[in-house]
Amino acid sequence: MLSQGMINDIEELLGKENVKTSEADRQTYAYDSAVLPSVTPAMVVFPPTTEKMGECVKKFYEAGIPMTIRGAGTNLSGGTIPDSTDNVVICTEKLNRILEINVNDLYAVVEPGVITQKFAEAVAAKGLFYPPDPGSQSVSTMGGNIAENAGGLRGLKYGVTKDYLMGIEFYDSTGALVKSGSRTVKCVTGYNLCGLMIQSEGTLGVISQAVMKLVPPPQATRALMAVFADMQDAADAVAGIIAAHILPCTLEFLDNNTIVRVDDFTHAGLPRDAGAILLIEVDGHPAQVADEAEAVEKVLKANKAVAVHVPKDAQEKAKLWEARRQALPVLARARPTTVLEDATVPRSQIPAMLKAVNEIAAKNNVQVGTFGHAGDGNLHPTFLCDIRDKDEFRRVENAVDEMFDVAIKLNGTLSGEHGIGTAKSKWLQKETSAGTIEYSRRLRNALDPKHLLNPTKMVEIS
Amino acid sequence: MNNLQALAQRLMTLDDKITACMRCGMCKAVCPMFGASGEEADVARGKLALINNLAHMLLDDPQALAEKLGRCLLCSSCQASCPPGVEIMPIFREARELVYNYLGLSPVKKIIFGVLLANPGLFNFSMRLGAPAQGLLFKKNDDVQKTVCAPMFNFFLGDRHIRPLAKKPLHAIHGHLDEPRKENGVKVAFFPGCLGDKMYVEMSEACLKALKHHDVAVFMPTKIACCGIPAICSGDVKGMLKELQANLKVYKDADFDYIVTPCASCTSTIKELWPEYAARLSPEDQRLAEDISRKTMDINVFMADVLGVKPSEPKRGAKKVTYHDPCHLVKSMGVTSEPRAVAKANPDYEFTEMKEHDRCCGCGGSFNLFHYDYSRKIGQRKRDNIVDSGAEVVATSCPACMMQLEDVLSHNGDPVKVKHTMELYAESLD
């Protein structure tokens, strides 16, 4: 339980305006985007400086108060839902300064609460490029992106958040400041703690600053949209493009259910009778882009594409991609509850995985719409249901269980980009091993002896 | 059953609508209030969670919920960009009605909405009494926006820089106006709105001048009541219905083809909310409200679509003008091109778009009264975008926005004038 003395201390440290203790305020930090029950924290704090955040962590460590670190609260695996009503939520949204954008050395230094899209825009304004673009980028924070190793549409060619993390500063569970990595491309000073902190889901430390790699932007891009009568043809085409040794910067996939619903919402003029469409973008040097677009078109046609569209102008192209970005939210209109999964398989297994998803959905009598990052094997089978209908929700849970079994059998993974949190922790051992779980627990016990940092997430420690 | 349980049960009727929220948090990107405060309870996702919690008896603090619900401009930015399409504004309006009624409306609001705004005669009389006395109370600000401040009334008005009340309100200048149809045969009912009648009389005169120029006959009775939006925002549906009934009476047997208004908030209220709320009146009133709704048009839309007003080429040395999209036009009705066309119709102005032109200015009607600090903070972002555009004039299509823009620009000492698009157009008719 949180003592009044502790509340007073924290209010004095951070200023009253940065501490929320009322029931109503606390209830709005009890959830994130995952379909999981809310847990109301005991207090919510907004450190105005990273130093003060460190002092908070120290105080909470000394008093033995569990902590959940939260950015925008958009993650899909429950990582920012408090473990218990004793938790304090440390919200990083006020730590939102971009400290440096270095155009000569191609890096930027950010505080954890910087919004991803604002960061990408600031970088673009300086003529550089920060590629990771998770679906929640207009609100998600850089700290959250690191803690979840956020992906996005450009994973195939440009990688994900972990590929851009050069250096990190964080507070460990005791409130001590830890630094690792640097502003240099090469750095082998001590353990690579960037690797430890990326996708650590708030369990190993409280991120206070990060050095992010930037890259020169591509000079040219070309987008294509291919329409397929059958979902299997589209999946074969994806495998075909990769087999032709072309890495499009994005290679996205929407199934029919998704196409129709997205078109209803965006009026983007998508082919509503298509079994599937692929949205493809190649980028790079203009000559290379032209060659690759031509090669991609050939592969698409060889794999029974009914039509291949090339957007006429930037506006049409933007509309096309906006349609893809809206896929998940739009599916959510169909039914009250949306269970968004991110099972990922090696690229060559995409056809098998898609087939299995549809069979599993049919067998369990549940609705599913699938879209996703087909180029990197990361699919988003999205189950549409009403959580208030207990029987239906149980069938959805069954379907998800079966789907993970298939993903693992195909040498894939439970989660490509959403994380484990509490939503998927029960399946973790199935994909890894009992030893992996124990190793992770020992790691956590050593670094967090009082079990205070998101203790029930990923591998529970207690 | 205790009262709180009864309130919870009533809020449960919103359950189906609220369940549609998938908590994706996209509303955080567009919410002006969240942009200023950074608090989750200020954004739609947070408010919906709280309404839901009270409905499920997980929150037993209706006062807190009322306060949170009040921290919202009802600008509908969230709803316009809500991916799963949650009907956020109807939920908020209904929740305000239920929760505020449960707690009881403050006596001041009761008088304003239930008595003053519903009784045009009384409202007009009190405002006319007030206007001549203004000279004693208000101090002129040395600004291009021609605002005043009221140091003696700081406790009530704060540090607001507002336009003084007109010396003579529009209805007193024109009396009961009911022109016969002219050559082109079009007749409109001109609905100036409270601000267009009592504060921005020049704007209303500009509208009348343009209508006259196009030979449009005008019906403008003196007994128009408030459109009802302030009462609805305060959860005072009774007050709103009184105002609505007063207005329906005025328009019942009148002859006109369209109702046009220069106020975005009035337009969206008459068009979208009158039929919805008239469902609580007689079937006859409901039919009338629906008929009126169909005939209601933003005045820019009327100028562009009915009268065919078109953009012209700017002259050399034309003044730079930019345009602020009022939420009530852009978010729910999607009106964007017509006001720009009307502004561009005057060749003395050259149009330039500002950044975030459709982001809320922060006025929000009565939001400004109760949350002036946040209103100013939100307004400052708008002001920065206006100034960055390099425009000498910022045009808009809502007097409430005009009031807010004048306040923030005046406070910053900016030489940018605020005008209604119809004022720009009327200037071109000289």
Each residue's pLDDT tens digit, A184-222 = 999 999 999 999 999 999 999 999 999 999 999 999 999
Interface contact flag, A332 B38, Cβ < 8 Å: no
Minimal CA–CA distance to A244: which of A309, A297, A283, A286? A297
B15, B19, B23, B86, best to mutate vs chain A, most A CBs in 10 Å: B23
Smallest Cα distance from B28 to chain A, Å: 6
User: What is the value of ipTM here, to two decimals?
Assistant: 0.94
Helix (H, G, I), strand (E, B) or coil at B318: coil
- The residues with which A90 forms a beta bridge, in sequence order, are A45, A69
* pLDDT tens sequence across B156-207: 567 788 888 888 999 999 999 999 999 888 999 999 999 999 999 999 999 9
d(CA A134, CA A33): 14
**Predicted pLDDT at B336:** 96
Domain A98-213 sits in CATH at 3.30.465.10
CATH architecture of structural domain A4-91:
2-Layer Sandwich (3.30)
**The pair of three-digit structure tokens given for residue B164, joined into one six-digit string:** 């003084």
- Taking an 8 Å cut-off on Cβ atoms, the answer to whether B49 and A27 are in contact is yes
B84 and A29 within 8 Å at the Cβ level: the answer is: no
What confidence tens digit (pLDDT) does each residue in A57-83 have?
999 999 999 999 999 999 999 999 999
pLDDT at B122 over 80: no
A423's tokens: 């939503």
Strand pairing partners for A276?
A228, A255
β-partners of residue B122 are: none
Residues A101-116 have a mean pLDDT of: 98
**Confidence band, pLDDT 50/70/90 cuts, at residue A90:** very high
Q: Residue B106: its pLDDT value, please?
A: 66
| Cβ contact B59–A28 (<8 Å) | no
**Interchain contact, B22 vs A136, CB within 8 Å:** no
Cα B78 to Cα A18, A93, B24, B85, B366, distances in angstroms: 25, 19, 12, 9, 19
Reading the block at residue A64, the tokens are 């033995």
Domain map of chain A by residue range? 4-91, 98-213, 220-409
CA distance B265 to B262: 9
What domains can you pick out in chain B, each with its CATH number? 3-103 (1.10.1060.10), 310-427 (3.40.50.1860)
Confidence of residue B364 (pLDDT cuts 50, 70, 90): confident
Lookup result for tokens 């549906």: B237
For residue B88, give how far its alpha carbon lies from the nearest alpha carbon of chain A (Å).
14
Q: State whether CATH 3.40.462.40 applies to domain A220-409.
A: yes
- A 83-112 residues with CB < 8 A to B: 93-94
CA distance A245 to chain B (A): 36
Instruction: Kindly determine whether residue B24 and residue A94, on different chains, have CB atoms separated by under 8 Å.
Output: no
Chain-centroid distance of CA A224 in Å reads 25
Q: A224 in helix, strand or coil?
A: strand
Q: Classify residue A354 by burial, with Cβ atoms within 10 Å: 0-12, 13-18, 19+.
A: buried
Q: d(Cα A181, Cα A164) in Å, to the nearest integer? A: 12
What mean pLDDT, rounded, does chain A reach?
Answer: 93
Q: Is A333 on the interface with B (CB under 8 A)?
A: yes
Average pLDDT over residues B132-159: 69
Q: Say if CB A232 and CB A350 are below 8 A apart.
A: no
Distance from CA of A267 to the nearest CA of B (A): 14
Model confidence band, residue B133 (pLDDT cutoffs 50, 70, 90)? low
